[in-house]
Chains A and B, each alone.
Chain A
């Protein structure tokens, strides 16, 4: 039995509602899969991303943040 555990980082993707979030939507409707450790958050605009959002996301357990917009 293989007891080796694979590190799977928790990634939060902050996606612009007008582009990257729509791309994620399209990926979903095209039946592309992505790991459950990736959480997608729609932003009204990624320009809204603030240092506070990043710090609190890390504080709440994210290992990495993808800002896509």
Chain B
């Protein structure tokens, strides 16, 4: 999931300065399950902002809404009819949700209430950790299901490095478990340690952020272009 966290109320109050009526829009997918922007969080944040702005003597009226997926036009389109009554929309979606709203409703000011942090998952109650950097060329098949690109501080393709202590902790921060230490232990459990003796070449980053914004086009899913059927 995409993991995000709310911006501080003070920051949001500053962002809302001068606005009289806004719509807070949550998202029912990733940010709902990481407790940053679901229906519950929209209610709490809206109440906190209404009270905070009232204490400052400039109460902002905040209505609440939730869409199941803020990153798809079909889900956000029903908001269109009511947007003209608001000075701005405060999105509790991830960065994708904010941009989808801004793209669809170009004459409405869309403001971000969250800081989008990473792709990851919960490791225990109340704790989320990064697991994927979307490098575009997954190598989890050769690393026992542990990603060194995300979890090794140096993004090494061969490890561990000399900075790992005997307890399998990273020199960058003793709180960080060494990814390569974990990979060796995992491969041992799988009986595949021999595979790690092969030296991996430097990673090909051309599938990552190398060429700017990435895009996937699936011809099998696209609507046919009528021009293709003209003779």
Contact = CB atoms under 8 A, between A and B. Distances in A.
B9 to A, nearest CB: 11
A59 B44 CA distance: 11
Interface string B11-52: 000000000000000000000000000001001100110110
Interface of B: 40, 43-44, 47-48, 50-51
Contacts, number: 17
B43 A52 contact: yes
Nearest to B47: A55
Q: Which 5 A-B pairs have the closest CB atoms?
A: A55-B47, A52-B43, A52-B44, A59-B47, A51-B44
A40 to B, nearest CB: 22
A55 B51 CA distance: 9
Given A55-B44, A55-B47, A59-B50, 14 more contacts: A50-B40, A51-B44, A52-B40, A52-B43, A52-B44, A52-B47, A55-B43, A55-B48, A55-B51, A56-B43, A56-B47, A58-B51, A59-B47, A59-B51
If over half of B's interface residues share one DSSP class (helix, strand or loop), that class is named, otherwise mixed; here it is helix
B61 to A, nearest CB: 12
A10 B80 CA distance: 40
Nearest to A60: B47
Contacts of B44: 51-52, 55
Contacts of A51: 44
16 contacts: A50-B40, A51-B44, A52-B40, A52-B43, A52-B44, A55-B43, A55-B44, A55-B47, A55-B48, A55-B51, A56-B43, A56-B47, A58-B51, A59-B47, A59-B50, A59-B51
Interface of A: 50-52, 55-56, 58-59
A63 to B, nearest CB: 13
A58 B155 CA distance: 49
B89 to A, nearest CB: 21
Contacts of A59: 47, 50-51
A60 to B, nearest CB: 10
Contacts of A50: 40
B126 to A, nearest CB: 14
Which residue among A51, A52, A58 has the maximum number of chain B CB atoms within 10 Å of its CB? A52
A52 B43 CA distance: 6
Contacts of A58: 51
Nearest to B50: A59
B48 to A, nearest CB: 6
Contacts of B40: 50, 52
Contacts of B43: 52, 55-56
A58 B44 CA distance: 12
A58 B54 CA distance: 12
B56 to A, nearest CB: 15
Contacts of B48: 55
